[in-house]
């Protein structure tokens, strides 16, 4: 697993949540997704990632018990290790997310 040297403010739990949301678990070297639902105390962790600019919340997907968060390209860069890379479709969707947020 990555050691988050790319972002000094990340805690191990935050690194784990970001990598899981990206699909970088086990032996996978390609991030094939970039979002995840959060419940309970994980919501607070994700909100901290939003503050750091490593994730954004999809407020339209919010329910009374869960929230959905997207990892930003900065979030990927903060937790990638070795030769890991973004799936081109995921990279395009991240770029679209960034453009939409900036608008």
Digit-coded pLDDT (tens) for 12-65: 999 999 999 999 988 889 999 999 999 999 999 999 999 999 999 999 999 999
Cβ pair 55, 72 in contact under 8 A: yes
Which residues lie closer than 8 Å to 56 by C-beta, 6 or more apart?
Answer: 50, 69, 70, 72, 97, 101
Residues facing residue 30 across a β-bridge:
85
Q: Where are the domains of the chain?
A: 12-102
Q: Which residues pair with 66 in a beta bridge?
A: 39
Distance CA 52, CA 72 (A): 10
Task: Give the pLDDT of residue 4.
Answer: 41
Q: What topology does CATH give the domain 12-102?
A: Arc Repressor Mutant, subunit A (1.10.10)
Residue-wise pLDDT tens digits, 59-101: 999 999 999 999 999 999 999 988 899 999 999 999 888 777 6
User: Whole-model pTM?
Assistant: 0.87
Helix (H, G, I), strand (E, B) or coil at 5: coil
Cα 69 from chain centre? 7
């Amino acid at each position: 697993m990555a050691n988050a040297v790319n972002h000094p403010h990340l805690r191990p739990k935050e690194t784990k949540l970001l990598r899981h949301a990206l699909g970088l678990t086990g032996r996978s070297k390609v991030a094939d997704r970039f979002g995840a639902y959060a419940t309970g105390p994980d919501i607070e962790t994700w909100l901290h990632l939003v503050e750091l600019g490593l994730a954004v919340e999809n407020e339209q997907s919010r329910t009374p018990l869960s929230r959905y968060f997207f990892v930003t390209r900065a979030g990927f860069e903060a937790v990638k290790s070795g030769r890991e890379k973004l799936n081109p479709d995921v990279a395009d969707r991240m770029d679209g997310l960034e453009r939409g947020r900036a608008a």
